[in-house]
Amino acid sequence: MQRDTDQYYSFTRRSALLFGGQIVLLSGLAARMYYLQVIEADRYRMLAEDNRINFKLLAPRRGRIVDRFGRPMAINQQNYRVLLTPENTKDVEKTLDTLATIIPINDKERQKILRDIKRRRRFLPMIVRENLEWEKVARIEVNAPSLPGISIDVGESRYYPDGILTAPVLGYVSGVAETEQTGDPLLELPGFRIGKSGIEKTLDVPLRGRGGTSQVEVNAFGREIRELERVEGQPGAEARLTIDLELQKFVAERMGEDSSSAVVIDIHSGDILAMGSTPSFDPNAFNRGLTAEEWRTLSTNPRTPLNNKAIAGMYAPGSTFKMVVALAALERGLITPATRISCGGKVSLGDATFHCWKSKGGHGNLDLLGGIMNSCDLYFYEVARRVGIDRISQMAERFGLGMMLDIELPGEKKGLMPTRAWKKSHKGAAWTQGETMISGIGQGYMLVTPLQLAVMTARLSNGGRAVKPRLTNAVVAFDGTELPAPPQPEFEDLGISPSHLEVVLKGMAGVTNLPGGTAFKARIKDPAFAMAGKTGSVQVRRISKLERETRVLKNEELPWHERDHALFVGFAPVHEPRYACAVVVEHGGGGSTTAAPIARDILIEVQRRDQSPSTELNVPRRPEGEG
């Protein structure tokens, strides 16, 4: 009897446990159904037959570019654009036909759209037209039911407030080419722009930022019903340059429409304060999209507006090179500041005749100061002959000539400082003494860039320190943290004798501040701002003996492409150097008449903006007995 009672209670407990478990399961099921059918009802309603959820990648705001004082050089502005998502329309061509009744779409644009659709994933939207007026936007929105796959997007586009004046430094942005796809989803977004030249290209990755996401409800036709959730991306970093925007504009405007370039550099820090190259181009045109005619005009212009001549233009340095030749000779003890050389206007070597620019009568008997101040070619023919080309090139490289300076811009050219070994390997011939003499006045095989000339002048005037140019002060993330950057180096000493530098700088001061100096007419008359410098005129064609003797045509009467290049390098103020400047005017004629006045005005402006000039002037007296 007891056993039956135990079995009864055991069965009852199991039944209770089983029943309780069933109650728990049913309660959980009921709770889940309540959650799905009541709490999540709206969510699942959106996933009904005629609705779905799409995820979109959002383009981040491109980082600004500002000058050294925080003034904007490259910003973003609102841009209305019409997009086509092929996946959301059954007939792309029919949609384009309907859209063409609202905005014009020519055959070329239509074929490009159809071609791009085949190359890209169909769910990715593509831009049909940008920079729409509000009237067109409204008409498209009104006709949205008959435009499946078409949507209006409000984005941002790059804008350069000062256009052509800052283009050589900033460069431009443009659409992503197929060859530039790296797998980054951002690069596949419609209308996404990347840097194609200038600082925009160099700092493209930090300027891009990081994309966000948007979760939107769309109907069966792909039309957006509402946005459900948005996660903002990370804006691009802000690039702060060493450029002084107001000085940059002054330099560009001062050069005008001449095919020319100019660089202004702080001789102690290496900061590039301005870099001009003219004629220039409008970077905003690349952002909106160039027409075929616009591109043809730019790319075929003989004055190369797309080329930043400051870093990629290569020229013989002409007489601006004479200080380097002098230092090479002084260092080897082959001349002293008192070494005198007679100039009668020409000198012979074998059956060749080498002329001074002052061919009638020459300069007479000159010492080194007189040779630099009067830019006497015969003086430096002889000095170069004594030194030799290899030693000259070695000294030139110490001053940054014929060397990559690693400025933060794409397209920098190295130039050339020839040597005996270079000619043997590249020309298959031995170097000649006549070529050494020509190199003594900065002609022949030598090629330099205006940036290199500015760096050379900075190293001469800062006491012989190997200053290096730079354009970027800082790159600052959106949250204000500064991105890691290479530390500013301690510039090494070039090992040039201070006394040798002193005599060369005195010669440069005489060029601009003493009567008889080749740039005396272009001098800065205010003693507080006075400059020192060196002129240069570079022949681009061979002058025949008959032409030299008859002087049938003056330089300015020749066709533009046959005229001499005009060069000038200078620093200011003379008594306490702070700024260096190099100017090259292609086919501009004389360095003293064309390039020197431009450099003078630039050096006045940069000192005026500094607002802290000293008033003492220390110009050497003209040595006695000079021709």
Cα 135 from Cα 141, distance rounded (Å): 10
Domain ranges of the chain: 54-240, 245-610
Q: Where are the alpha helices (DSSP H) in 77-153?
A: 92-99, 107-119, 134-142
The pLDDT assigned to 182 comes to: 85
The pLDDT assigned to 279 comes to: 96
Q: How confident is the model at residue 90 (pLDDT cuts 50, 70, 90)?
A: confident
C-alpha dist (Å) from residue 561 to 21, 301, 540: 98, 13, 8
Cα 573 from Cα 247, distance rounded (Å): 17
Q: Which CATH number describes the domain made up of 245-610? A: 3.40.710.10
The pLDDT assigned to 615 comes to: 34
**What tens digit of pLDDT does each residue of 508-564 get?**
999 999 999 999 999 999 999 999 999 999 988 766 555 555 555 566 778 878 889
**What tens digit of pLDDT does each residue of 301-311 get?**
999 999 999 99
The pLDDT assigned to 617 comes to: 39
Helix (H, G, I), strand (E, B) or coil at 215: strand
Beta carbons within 8 Å of 491's beta carbon, 6+ residues apart: 270, 465, 466, 467, 468
Marked catalytic residue, from 157, 319, 375, 439 = 319
CATH class of 54-240: alpha beta
The pLDDT assigned to 133 comes to: 79
Can you spell out the DSSP letters for 384-416?
HHHH-HHHHHHHHHHTTTTS----SSTT----B
Helix (H, G, I), strand (E, B) or coil at 333: coil
Contact present, 155 and 165 (Cβ < 8 Å): no
- The residue whose two tokens read 């046959």 is 562
What tokens were used for 254?
A: 């001062």
Please state whether beta strands 72-84 and 126-129 pair in parallel, antiparallel, or not at all (unpaired): antiparallel
Contact present, 512 and 522 (Cβ < 8 Å): yes
Q: How confident is the model at residue 221 (pLDDT cuts 50, 70, 90)?
A: low
State the DSSP H helix or E strand holding residue 583, giving kind and residue range, or none if neither.
strand 579-585
- Summary mean pLDDT of the chain: 87
Cα 470 from Cα 272, distance rounded (Å): 6
SS3 per-residue string spanning 410-476: CCCCCCECCCHHHHHHHHCCCCCHHHHHHHCCCCCCCEECHHHHHHHHHHHHCCCECCCCECEEEEE
Q: Quick one: residue 277, left, alpha or beta (phi over 0 = left, psi -120 to 50 = alpha)?
A: beta
359 classed as catalytic: no
Q: Where are the alpha helices (DSSP H) in 478-575?
A: 498-513, 545-550
Predicted TM-score (pTM) of the model is: 0.83
Closest C-alpha to 161, from 291, 295, 67: 67
**What tens digit of pLDDT does each residue of 435-493 get?**
999 999 999 999 999 999 999 999 999 999 999 999 999 999 988 888 776 666 789 99
Task: Please check the confidence at residue 57 and state whether its pLDDT lies above 90.
Answer: no
Closest C-alpha to 524, from 598, 450, 451: 598
